[in-house]
Structure 1
């Protein structure tokens, strides 16, 4: 038996902790971790090696000749889409399940699915992980009066943490357990069989996959789990989020590796855009302009990525889903602002529907019905698998940066989002609301990435030709903080000041910290907090 060290239960969750972390469940976590620990290490080493190779050779990613046989073989397809996943029109995104009220409200909605999120929209305190997994456990086992059964409710699309995260509160043989194995393992152990028997899963979103080798690892984990828990082969299905520019060149290979377990691919906008800075931000030719003005799905590099994703998925019989609408509806339905938000979301999502996506996400539950109506008005049937875009996407299509510069508004907006995300994280929250939108780690990634890159390349502002420097950013940070500190308590001010210090650390690093969540997850301020 592996040596296991487990932290004490989070305060107030003693009962939930003991329901979930039974001796058998802990043994299962220990087994899955010891089985795949070395492979997880190799994945992370391969990421580092790939980045070093690109930097040393000053080269660009491309479609690999080593896997051309997979792309050129027209005969293979993914396994048939299960009945419960045939219609993916509207999922409710960023649903951190520790937020019980929102989770239950989502379950009672008319959405096709719920992104049950332990990743981008969630802050992974031990309290949040235990509370969230326990809430899923109760829902799947029908222990909450008044809620629909899992057979009738929107399908649960479970999103564990990505490979860059670890769980500090559980050590196996002296090493912290990988965050995704903790989340995935506990969820599968407690609800996998029940979801399978009700033909409602288990279904997953997989975040931040960078290569087909990572998809191969997930497939091995799925096969191992199905055997261990006596589940039918191929019953686990996963939608891979293509959030890295490197993964965009390996979409067919990723589908191929997961072909018995694939629920398709997903394209977003901000994590994907931020990955350009992460991989190539020090190169001037990859300078990304102001996202608030010049970066959207209509730009060539993002439109190409979406078209290729839809084409790839539909050729192989897999579903292709789009990003999340982050705008929030005002309460007054008769207001011009309400109509303006509806119009803005409709325009953006109609663009994705026209591109052939089979579904997308919204954050605001009140957007579900109008977006479902939009699908019904512009498509026929549960999905658009029959639409295969006639495009020929090249390396340059995926790597071309949009034209544009940097505005003072964009710089201040990015600063505010970066600071407020860190502030939310220090409160144990993974998303927050700002200027009529929901912001999470994806928008925090692109925000702090752009500030880092603009300082690095000493970009000039369009407004007044000032250069973006450490001094200018610090002055703007102080302006932003003064606005945010109005009516704040002493505790809030102290936390916000800590967030400012962390933000400045991150945007001034000589070498780009790859993930803001990794950086924060290892910071002493977070580790010493009691949630």
Structure 2
């Protein structure tokens, strides 16, 4: 095999005698050779070869189902898998070491400073997020793996530009959270790594590099290789992940069941297949999470063409007490506990502000109320996005759990959720206001600018915004425009109004960064991307896929088989166009 070089822009690793190979097309900077080893690249390359065809077929099935719903069909509980839901005998595997108690989990990106803050936070779990809270620049993808490797080795540290030194010390007792990695969703490619001339799956890259380098280190530390699985839309997508786990464990000589996965139920279609998803992953399952923000986005995306009966009000009014959100979370808790799995609550977006005690008190009060509702409902723990909120979440769950690690024993037999309950979007109280329209445009614009600059989690207006909340913002505006919704001030949401608001928000955003050419250019790019998404005839499936292909793919050297333009072609955002390969390869 050709060794990885820090001098050459492109690296090739041969997988088979027939000439199949992995190409590294992103710059290989100093230190990258620690994770981009020939052995690791061969491992992820073979995994990608084995499952590329199925991944692409499942993405096609997503699109087909969305088209069916747009044409008038409704989602519902599957009749062909009813036997899974009615069979009381099966359970998921018992909790793995380090995952017995999940009363407070902190989520954040895998840059070194944020990782150290999370590992010192006192949380039970750190969700190391390589998806919605990470902008998938090549340097973030590889740098995140280096962070995870050093965290697993116990050597993670960082020195800021002003000379301040950060290192992992743990909580007051020296304990650090269990690491659970969230790889990118099935829909996202990694265009800086190619196998057989096509982009790899971002999911396989994030999962495979971490597993290859850190699985045994985590096992030696008394824990294991654990993952959060995002954006699943069906039990067949969960089956694909389970098959990836089985193959990967075989390849690395890990006992079957070593890997554990918690699935984020953050799409409307997945809400109808919760039990089936747990069943497919049962030997590797650790629970389900109420991924509330993406769930709201998915509801709009799935039913956004179905008229006023499915309209949602201002984003701030779509709370967890909305009827369709209550149905979803109640069903999730009951499903998990019936099958012996953990139910993990969602992220409260409010964050403290050290410079504003009044705003901090309000944020803490909102988070406390949110976590109290989840604990009463039977959740076994929940998420926070800021170390300053770990104590609040812990206090709430301590009061309910006491010395018990969880409340899986609460089976919630009284919960009876119908398909109509899950689809009752129109019963959400609230209005569509001019302020709500402007806030959505502003949040999406500022988030996109930060994302283009390499930041995937951004504090805006006292809330932690990530890709999921930006998706809600732009999809709401798209739906309001399509339906010509009338605002509370009497104006109809029109193309002219949306363009006017966007132009005003762009001007306001550019003014304070007038001397910063890079940020000014990013705001212009962000506005163009947002304009396309808001005014598109069909709602783009994801806001960031076009942005990734157009702005974040920085190939040091184009692949030899194609020209540079084709390498970043936005017409194939999932990387599936050339993935018609033998799944058994």
What's the TM-score bracket when you normalise by the shorter of the two chains?
over 0.9
Q: Which residue, out of 101, 106, 109, partners 1:96? A: 109
RMSD after superposition: 1.8
Shift of 1:338: 2.4
Shift of 1:417: 0.9
**Residues 293/421 of structure 1: CA separation in 2 closer, same or farther (3 Å cut):** closer
Instruction: Report SS of the residue matched to 2:329.
Output: helix
Give the match for residue 139 of structure 1: 151
CA distance in 2, matches of 1:343, 1:326: 12
* 1:59-138 pair list within 5 angstroms: 59-93=73-107, 95-97=108-110, 99-138=111-150
Q: Contact 1:268 / 1:324 at 8 angstroms: preserved in 2? A: yes
Shift of 1:305: 0.2
Q: Which residue, out of 12, 15, 25, partners 1:7? A: 25
Structure 2 residue runs of 5 or longer lacking an equivalent are 1-15, 158-166, 557-585
Q: Which residue, out of 474, 490, 500, partners 1:475? A: 500
Instruction: Report SS of the residue matched to 1:260.
Output: coil
Q: Deviations over 1:176-195 (max 9, x none)?
A: 00001011111111001221
Give the match for residue 581 of structure 2: none
CA distance in 1, matches of 2:200, 2:95: 32
Shift of 1:422: 1.3
**Residues 148/8 of structure 1: CA separation in 2 closer, same or farther (3 Å cut):** same
CA distance in 1, matches of 2:355, 2:447: 27
Alignment TM-score, normalising by the size of structure 2: 0.86
* 1:33-432 pair list within 5 angstroms: 33-56=48-71, 58-93=72-107, 95-97=108-110, 99-144=111-156, 147=168, 152-331=175-354, 335-380=357-402, 381-389=404-412, 390-401=414-425, 402-432=428-458
Shift of 1:285: 4.2
Shift of 1:103: 0.7
CA distance in 1, matches of 2:468, 2:231: 11
CA distance in 1, matches of 2:371, 2:264: 18
CA distance in 1, matches of 2:453, 2:316: 30
Instruction: Report SS of the residue matched to 1:307.
Output: helix
Shift of 1:496: 1.0
Q: Deviations over 1:452-499 (max 9, x none)?
A: 00000000001x110001111111122222332232124122221221
Q: Contact 1:122 / 1:430 at 8 angstroms: preserved in 2? A: yes
Structure 1 residue runs of 5 or longer lacking an equivalent are none
Instruction: Report SS of the residue matched to 1:129.
Output: helix
**Residues 529/3 of structure 1: CA separation in 2 closer, same or farther (3 Å cut):** closer
Q: Contact 2:70 / 2:305 at 8 angstroms: preserved in 1? A: no
Alignment TM-score, normalising by the size of structure 1: 0.95
Shift of 1:293: 4.0
Q: Deviations over 1:158-197 (max 9, x none)?
A: 0000011100111100110000101111111100122123
Q: Contact 1:16 / 1:131 at 8 angstroms: preserved in 2? A: no
Q: Contact 2:324 / 2:423 at 8 angstroms: preserved in 1? A: yes
Query: Is 1:505 the equivalent of 2:505?
Result: no
CA distance in 2, matches of 1:350, 1:52: 39
